[in-house]
Amino acid sequence: MPGIEPPVLAEVRLRINGIDHELTIDTRISLLDLLREHLDLTGAKKGCDHGQCGACTILIDGRRANGCLALAVAHDGAEIVSIEGLAEGEELHPLQRAFIEHDAFQCGYCTPGQLCSAAAMLAEVREGWPSAVTPAGDGGVELSDAEIRERMNGNLCRCGAYANIVPAIAEAAHP
């Protein structure tokens, strides 16, 4: 059609949940849409598509990120983990077990993002990253409920399951 430019395509290589992919993508596509619309990995959810709810949280090279804000073309060569890749085969991730034991979800829409975010958050704590509520000093991070709430505040739960999400994460951190 006159006046409409065709999409710009790019080749990218991504390792997604342990599987290598060589993909030709539209340079405008987000990692979230690539996973959901092209690779049938619909675990990461689209709540807002604006970086505000955390439902799309995935791990990019081990760090949590909003898949809706991450352009796939900008992550050529990256290792991506979505909720489908969090378990070890049939063995659930400790956070998944804790969420089930603590009934830490209702509709479950936010849960894949909560789990991916919490997995990376616990790694950040192990590495000693402070948060806005970490007391000053070099005494390390004590993962209090306040720390969990602060560190998970990018993941909203419309069902308000926070009262069970926090103890589930605390248990996974201190089994």
- Please identify, among the stretches 78-86, 108-116, 123-131, 142-150, the one whose residues bind ligand FES according to the rule CB under 6 A: 108-116
Q: Which amino acid is at 53?
A: C
Among 13, 63, 126, 158, binds ligand FES (CB under 6 A): 158
List 63's β-bridge partners, or say none: 60
Binding map of ligand FES across residues 29-48, x = CB under 6 A, - = no contact: -----------------xxx
- Judged by DSSP in three states, 5 sits in coil
Binding map of ligand FES across residues 51-90, x = CB under 6 A, - = no contact: xxxxxx---------x-x----------------------
Take residue 63 and report the two structure tokens written for it. 């760090």
Say how far apart CA 33 and CA 134 lie, in whole Å.
35
Strands (E), the chain: 9-16, 19-26, 57-60, 63-66, 79-81
Cβ(98)–Cβ(168) below 8 Å: yes
Based on the shown chain and the rule CB under 6 A, indicate whether residue 162 belongs to the binding site for ligand FES.
Answer: no
Q: Which is nearer to ligand FES, 57 or 134 (CB)?
A: 57
**Interacting residues toward ligand FES by CB under 6 A:** 46-49, 51-56, 66, 68, 105-111, 157-159, 161
